[in-house]
Amino acid sequence: MKTERSVLRTASLAAALVCLLAARPAAADYAADHPEYFSITAPPPAGSLLAPSFGTPAQVVLHPGNGGIFPALMTHLAGLPAVLLHGGSEDLKQIEQMLVGAGLAPESYQWQDFEQLNTTAAGEYFPLVLTSEAGLRLVDPRYLQNRQYDDAAGSKLAAVFSTCAWRPPVFLTRGFIESDGQGTCVVSSKLHSKSYPLTAAEINGILKTYLGCTQVVVLQSLNFDPEGRLDTFFRYAMADKVFIGQYEVAQDSANVGTLKDNAKALEAALPPGSTIQPIPMPKPITVGETTVRPSYLAYLQLPDKLLVPVFGDDTEHEAEALSILKQTWPALEQALLDTTTLAMSGSRLTGVVGTIPSGEWDKTCTPPEVLCQSPKPADCPLCWNECSLGEKTCLHVKSAATCKLGEDGCHDFVEVPCTGEDTCKAGKCVPPPSICDDMPPGGICDGDLAMKCTGDTLLTVDCQKEGKFCSVNADEQVECVLPCPVACTVGTARCNDDSTGLLVCSLGDDDCPMETPEACPASTSCVDGQCSGGAEPDGDAAGDDTQADASGGPDAPLPPVDEGGFHSGYGKGGGGCSTTSAPSSGLGVLCGFLGGLLMLRMRRSARYGSLRGAASPEH
Same domain? 513 vs 593: yes
Among 155-159, 318-322, 595-599, which is the least confidently predicted range? 595-599
Kindly write down the DSSP assignment for every residue of 47-109, as one continuous string. Answer: T-EEPPS-S--SEEEE---SSTTHHHHHHHHTTS-EEEEESSHHHHHHHHHHHHHTT--GGGS
pTM above 0.85, yes or no: no
In a domain, 222, yes or no: yes
Boundary (domain end) residue, out of 385, 417, 451: 385
Domain hosting residue 584, numbered range: 493-530+547-608
Return the bridge partners of 393, or none. 401
In a domain, 583, yes or no: yes
What does the pLDDT average to over 90-106? 95
Same domain? 462 vs 525: no
Same domain? 524 vs 391: no
Among 164-168, 315-319, 372-376, which is the least confidently predicted range? 372-376
Choice between 601 and 125, residue whose per-residue pLDDT is larger: 125
Q: In this prediction, what percent of the chain has a pLDDT beyond 70?
A: 81
Choice between 269 and 551, residue whose per-residue pLDDT is larger: 269
What does DSSP say about strands 333-338 and 128-131: parallel, antiparallel, or unpaired?
unpaired
Q: Which amino acid is at 538?
A: D
**Which three-class secondary structure state does DSSP give residue 254?**
helix
In a domain, 74, yes or no: no
Same domain? 167 vs 287: yes
Nearest Cα residue to 232 out of 188, 297, 321: 297
State how far the Cα of 82 lies from the Cα of 108, in Å rounded to an integer. Answer: 9
Query: For residue 157, is pLDDT > 70?
Result: yes
Same domain? 373 vs 444: no
Same domain? 164 vs 240: yes
Cis-peptide into 197, omega within 30 deg: yes
pLDDT of residue 610: 36
Rounded to the nearest integer, the mean pLDDT of the chain is: 81
In a domain, 593, yes or no: yes
Same domain? 358 vs 242: yes
What does the pLDDT average to over 497-517? 88
Residue 600, phi-psi category: left (phi > 0), alpha (psi -120 to 50), beta (remainder):
alpha
State how far the Cα of 551 lies from the Cα of 493, in Å rounded to an integer. Answer: 10
Residue 231 maps to which CATH number? 3.75.10.10
In 3-state terms, the chain is what percent helix, strand and coil (to 5)? Answer: 30, 25, 45
Same domain? 448 vs 566: no
Return the bridge partners of 400, or none. 394, 416
Same domain? 405 vs 317: no
The count of domains in the chain is 4
Return the H-helix or E-strand segment holding 402.
strand 399-405
CB–CB of 353/343 below 8 Å?
Answer: no
State how far the Cα of 271 lies from the Cα of 236, in Å rounded to an integer. Answer: 13
What value, to the nearest 5°, has the Cα angle with vertex 383 and ends 381 and 385? 150
In a domain, 69, yes or no: no
CA-to-CA separations, 295 to 154, 284, 350, in angstroms, rounded: 26, 9, 10
Model confidence at 534, pLDDT cuts 50, 70, 90, reads low
State how far the Cα of 154 lies from the Cα of 137, in Å rounded to an integer. Answer: 12
